[in-house]
Structure 1
Amino acid sequence: MQTDLILQRPRTSDNAELLLLFHGVGSSAEDLAPLGQALAAQRLNAWVISVRSPDRSDLGRGWQWFSVQGVTEANRPERVASAMPAFLERIRAWQSETGVGPQSTTLLGFSQGAIMALESTQLCGASRHAARVIAIAGRFAQPARIKPEDVAAHLLHGEQDHVMPVRLAMEAEHELRSLGAAPTLDRFAGLGHGIDARVVQAIGRGLQDVNEEKGL
C-alpha cells in the first residue's frame, strides 16, 4: 500500500471514518490530493486516503483500473469485472490497516474510479465493502442490475462533461430508482469533466448527512 497516499489520519480512533478516493484513467493518487485535503479539513476524524490503481495506463501516462483502448459498451463490463478483485482487495487492506469497518467506509471515485465504485454496489453482499459510494463524473459499466444492499449512492456530474456525458449519471439514477434504491444526483451547470468547489461542498454535505443518520 506504499503507492497510496495517506492525506489524513484521524485525531482519535473513536468513531473514525474511512474515506477512500479512486482516481480516473491516466491519473494518479496525487491528482486527487487537493480534493482529499479539502475533505479532510471538514472530516477531522476520518482517514482520508487516495488510492492508486495497480496497473500503468496504456494511454502513456498515469495509472488505470482497466484499459480504455478499444473499449465498447459490449466489452466494458468484462474489463471492469476483471479489475474488481484488485479494487476490493485495496478496500479490505485499508479497512484492516485502519481498523475501520465497512459501515464507516465511503468510496469516492472520479471517472474510471467512479465506475469501479458504482459497480462494487452490484456485487452480492455489497455492504460488506462500504456503506456509501460517491461517484463523480461516473457511470455504471452496464445498466444497474440489483438494488444495492444497504449502500447509499450519490452521483455528482458536470452538465458540460463531454468525456462522460451527464446523461449517463441520469441513467444510473433512474436505474437505481427503478430497482427500489434512493440515490441522489447533483448536476453542476457549466462544469466539464472535473471537480470544482461546488462538488467539494456537495460531498461535504453528503458526508455530514452520514453522521446525522448515525446520531454522531
Structure 2
Amino acid sequence: MSMEEDAEVHTKTGKKSNVLPLWGNERTMNMNNLILTNIQASHYFKMNLYELKTYHEVVDEIYYKVSHLEPWEKGSRKTAGQTGMCGGVRGVGAGGIVSTAYCLLYKLFTLKLTRKQLNGLLTHPDSPFIRGLGFMYIRYTQPPADLWDWYDEFLEDEEELDVKAGGGQVMTIGNMLRHFLTKLEWFSTLFPRIPVPIQVIIEPRHSTERQTLLQD
C-alpha cells in the first residue's frame, strides 16, 4: 500500500493520517528570512547535519547539542548602528551565529516528519529540549486551526527548560506553550501569524482554562 493510500484509509476510518500537513511556505518553514539564510549558510548545517540521514540520528544530536531555544547564540548578533529595516536587508552579515537549536529545527523540517515521529518528540523522556523543538516544529509548520489540539494536553506540563541562550529564563513546557498560543514574539524573531478568526477561538479557551486552574 502506498503512503497516499495509507493516508486515505486512515482518514476514512476516522483516524488521523500519519502524513502531516505542512502549512504555509513549504520551502522556508515559515521562518524569518534572515534566520533561514544563516541556517543554510552555516558550516554546522551544511557539513555536520548533512551527515545525519535519519530521525533517530537527529534526535540524538538534539540531546547532545541543544541547550536553549533562541534563534541566535548568545552575544553573536551585531546590531549596533543598524536602524529600521536595514538589518533584514544586509543579509547574513547582519545576522549572527544562528543557534544549534534552529539548525536542528530546520533539519527536522527537511526530514518531513510523520505524525508518529512528531508525537515521539513531544513525549520524549530524555531531554526537554527534544520536546521543545517538537512543539516549536508544530508552531512553525502546522495549520493554525490545529495548534490548540496539539498543545491542549500539555498546557499543565510542569517539566522545566531554560530557553534563553546563556541561561536565565526557565519556564515550564506548559507556560512555553501558552506563550506560543498567545504571543507572536519569540526572542528576536516572530512566529507565523495566527489568523484572527482562529486567535479569537484560542484566547477564550486559554482564559477559561487559566480561570479554572485558579479556582482549583
TM bucket (normalised to shorter chain) is: 0.3 to 0.5
Structure that is richer in strand per residue: 1
Larger relative helix fraction = 2
- TM-score (normalised: structure 2): 0.33
| Higher normalized contact order (CA 8 Å, seq sep 6+, divided by chain length) | 2
